Structure 1
Amino acid sequence: MADPLYRDPAAPVAARVRDLLARMTLTEKVGQVNQRMYGWHAYERTPSGYRLTEAFRTEVAAFDGMGALYGLQRADPWSGVTAETGIGAADGARVSDTVQRHVVENTRLGIPVLMVEEMPHGHQALDGTLLPVNLAVGATWNPELYEEAVALAAAELRARGGHVALVSALDLVRDPRWGRTEECFGEDPYLAARFTEALVRGAQGRPAERIAPDRAAVVLKHFAGQGATVGGRNSAATELGIRELHEIHLEAALAGVRAGAAGVMAAYNEFDGLPCAASHELLTGILREKWGFDGVVMADGLALDRLVRLAGDPVAAAATALSAGCDLSLWDACFPRLAEAIDRGLVEERALDAAVGRVLALKFRLGLFEQPYTGERPAVAGLRELSRRLARESVTLLAHDGTT
């Protein structure tokens, strides 16, 4: 018996997506747009190595698959993962492959899971090579050097089993009290746009249907205007007019989309009382219809749960986000209930199909159906030297002539 079309690497991505979608149950579709598990809850470190947790196995079984797993290798005070409990560079690919093998071999359709990792300035993991923060990178005014460094950072992430890099790029410094200003390239939209282009080209390569095994898909954060929240508070409301939004806060996003970014992340903040994750005008009207973006829109962490107050209940909140243009959740409890939203007539299944299709397309572009496992790869060389060069070029000397 011949393999199904979606298994044919020579077939166009769109045809493979259609074939696979036609074979999926509603439960399997909902599973593909969910990323509700923290990756560090998927494994336990043991005296002899690592083992998968029962919580992870239960999550995979609940939807007969898993769309994405966030932060398998993340280690920092926020996650609580330490050198004693986390995954080092020597074990990253092996643990990632163990996770992937369980998903591929224990689900009906064997759809690989996306391994999503934070890469704010290098892979946010034990033994990850650090680059200067974005604010320092912007001070270099050297996007070509940054592109070269990001290419190696993406290669390092892929060598450890990651597929998708979450990278801040779209926010602008508008209030120094905001605690995430170091994630911005600066206050200038032109500067941010040029470095966002360099980021996408470096991590993903030049626009192409396939993303190479030594490159990573990029999800650009945050769409949009999060740096302009009132009072310098994170994820608060904004007071932006249409002109300021388009001329300042959307410039970097447009540059990233034109460079071929695989995804964007809907921000926490609100415009006129409507959160970005619920804004059809922003996520569909501007992003998809006006700009022609066909990649994945990921919600920020727990952002969809915040829509419950707006929508009335978690099921309606899930329908609101899907209808607005969100494709993939992040840790929330709403998106797993999309089947209920469809049963209640709050959203049509074709809207879910469109979101699932975009997630599947990314998996095909990454070559995960043909090569789901990372295996042994040589260490990435040269990234530390590029990081030093970026750091040196970021140094800015200020002179005071004493006249003012």
Structure 2
Amino acid sequence: MTVPRYRDPAAPVSERVRDLLGRMTLPEKVGQLNQRMYGWHAYERTRDGHRLTDAFREEVAAFDGMGALYGLQRADPWSGVGFTDGLDARDGARTAAAVQRHVVEHTRLGIPVLLVEEMPHGHQALDGTVLPVNLAAGATWDPELYADAVAAAAAELRARGAHIALVSALDLVRDPRWGRSEECFGEDPYLAARMTEALVEGARRAGVAVVLKHFAGQGATVGGRNSAATELGRRELHEVHLAAARAGVAAGAAGVMAAYNEFDGLPCVANRYLLTEVLREEWGFDGLVMADGTAVDRLLRLTGDPVRAAALALDAGCDLSLWDDSFTRLGEAVERGLVSEGALDAAVARVLTLKFRLGLFEQPGPPAGAAATGPADAAELGERVARASVTLLAHEGGALPLARAALRR
């Protein structure tokens, strides 16, 4: 029996992608661009442990595959997952393996799924090591120490079977009213660029691909409101708000996440200037562009039609959705002539390329022999970052503490 070319680990990645893409139906292609399901809906706790849900099995069956699954291990107040029902480190690794086994064994082509996790300051999961937030990490002015801490956190994520870390790095604090300021390394583009390089290098050391958030200018929205418009001109965009992204891409980031905000009147997820002209054509980036959560569905206010919304985002350069329903309609967009199948194939090829580069077809589950709890020095490195982040203010002329009269003014 002849082994398909895409199954041959010795074949060049480009040939494996081309062979696999040529075997895929339109629905299977669309399925590779979707990341619709919350990962914590993919499993449920039973008296005997955790099992995959019917909802997960139905999602896989709908497109005979799954491009990516977000947040399988996520646990926090937002997801509502805790120790009573969530996955600890060992159960997380077992469940990740079960997810891959089901997808590979119950689909026609057996394409593994990318497991995507949040790693804002440590893996956002039960038993995960928490690191200081980016604002504190930036205050260390120590990229080497930060890279070591990121490598330790990423090793925990990888040991549990995940492949991609979503990490905020690209935003700058330009308005202290913005509620996500702690996700930034600071206000300085040079500092953000150096810390972003360290972030990518540390994660890659642990075998984890990084998707950098958010592209671009999200820290400069009008009035400090999250996901609002910006009033940036192109010079400020390039000189200030793209410096970290440019550095992260050059360091080997696997992807960027299109921001919620608008630039020049268009939401970033539909902004061809940002996602194609700058990112791909000017910088030569060949990785993934991921939408932020439901960002494609938000385009309905521009298009009035989910199929047109999906086409608009894909044509702009978005490859992979997040929690959206609109991107599941890309097959209709092709059939209606709103976007070419060639554009669809290009996006699918980027998703498949990452899967091959990460070795998913040879080892889809957690690495053999990996400790599910990650390296023992993760907590110690986090403490070192916290200590280094302490910033002393110069006390000249008896300025501190401030006098009551000064406070009243």
TM-score normalised by L of structure 2: 0.95
Aligned-residue offset at 1:90:
2.1
Aligned-residue offset at 1:399:
2.8
Tell me the equivalent position of 1:196: 196
Report the Cα distance in structure 1 between the residues aligned to 2:280 and 2:82, rounded to whole angstroms. 40
- Which of 271, 296, 305 is the equivalent residue of 2:263? 271
Tell me the equivalent position of 1:43: 43
Tell me the equivalent position of 2:29: 29
- Which of 356, 377, 385 is the equivalent residue of 2:380? 385
Tell me the equivalent position of 1:18: 18
1:303 and 2:320 correspond? no
Q: Which amino acid aligns with 2:259?
A: A
Tell me the equivalent position of 1:353: 345
**SS of the counterpart of 2:345?**
helix
Tell me the equivalent position of 1:237: 229
Report the Cα distance in structure 1 between the residues aligned to 2:360 and 2:375, rounded to whole angstroms. 21
Q: Which amino acid aligns with 1:399?
A: A
**SS of the counterpart of 2:290?**
strand
Aligned-residue offset at 1:361:
0.5
Report the Cα distance in structure 2 between the residues aligned to 1:219 and 1:121, rounded to whole angstroms. 14
Aligned-residue offset at 1:92:
1.2
Report the Cα distance in structure 1 between the residues aligned to 2:365 and 2:126, rounded to whole angstroms. 21
Aligned-residue offset at 1:380:
1.8
Between 375-384 and 124-133, the greater mean CA deviation after superposition: 375-384
- Which of 370, 373, 395 is the equivalent residue of 2:390? 395
| CA contact 1:218–1:263 (8 Å) conserved in 2 | yes
Report the Cα distance in structure 1 between the residues aligned to 2:52 and 2:89, rounded to whole angstroms. 18
1:161 and 2:170 correspond? no
**SS of the counterpart of 2:81?**
coil
Report the Cα distance in structure 1 between the residues aligned to 2:392 and 2:278, rounded to whole angstroms. 40
Aligned-residue offset at 1:402:
3.0
Aligned-residue offset at 1:3:
0.7
Deviations 1:264-316 (A, max 9, x none): 00000001220000011100000000000000000000000011111220000
Tell me the equivalent position of 1:91: 91
1:219 and 2:211 correspond? yes
**SS of the counterpart of 2:115?**
strand
Between 129-138 and 196-205, the greater mean CA deviation after superposition: 196-205
Report the Cα distance in structure 2 between the residues aligned to 1:339 and 1:313, rounded to whole angstroms. 14
Question: What is the aligned-residue RMSD (CA, Å)?
Answer: 0.9
Tell me the equivalent position of 1:4: 4
Deviations 1:344-398 (A, max 9, x none): 0000001010000000011011100001121552242211111111111000111
TM-score normalised by L of structure 1: 0.97
Aligned-residue offset at 1:130:
0.9
Tell me the equivalent position of 2:77: 77
**SS of the counterpart of 1:289?**
helix
Tell me the equivalent position of 2:354: 362
Q: How many residues end up aligned between the 2 structures?
A: 396
- Which of 273, 276, 279 is the equivalent residue of 1:284? 276
Deviations 1:90-120 (A, max 9, x none): 2111010011110000000000000000000
Between 335-344 and 370-379, the greater mean CA deviation after superposition: 370-379
Between 82-91 and 335-344, the greater mean CA deviation after superposition: 82-91
| CA contact 1:38–1:71 (8 Å) conserved in 2 | yes
Tell me the equivalent position of 2:316: 324
Tell me the equivalent position of 1:260: 252
Q: Which amino acid aligns with 1:304?
A: V
Report the Cα distance in structure 1 between the residues aligned to 2:136 and 2:316, rounded to whole angstroms. 35
Q: Which amino acid aligns with 2:329?
A: R
Q: Which amino acid aligns with 1:35?
A: Q
Report the Cα distance in structure 2 between the residues aligned to 1:402 and 1:302, rounded to whole angstroms. 52
**Runs of 4+ more than 4 Å apart:** none
Aligned-residue offset at 1:400:
2.4
Deviations 1:112-170 (A, max 9, x none): 00000000011000110011100000000000111111111111101011110000000
Tell me the equivalent position of 1:65: 65
| CA contact 1:93–1:376 (8 Å) conserved in 2 | no
1:183 and 2:183 correspond? yes
Q: Which amino acid aligns with 2:276?
A: T
Q: For the pair shown, which has the larger CA radius of gyration, 1 or 2?
A: 2
Report the Cα distance in structure 2 between the residues aligned to 1:292 and 1:377, rounded to whole angstroms. 35
Q: Which blocks of at least 5 consecutive residues in structure 2 are unaligned? A: 400-409
Between 321-330 and 375-384, the greater mean CA deviation after superposition: 375-384
Q: Which blocks of at least 5 consecutive residues in structure 1 are unaligned? A: 206-213
**SS of the counterpart of 1:220?**
strand
Deviations 1:192-230 (A, max 9, x none): 00000011111014xxxxxxxx41100000000000011
Report the Cα distance in structure 1 between the residues aligned to 2:143 and 2:365, rounded to whole angstroms. 32
Q: Which amino acid aligns with 1:317?
A: A
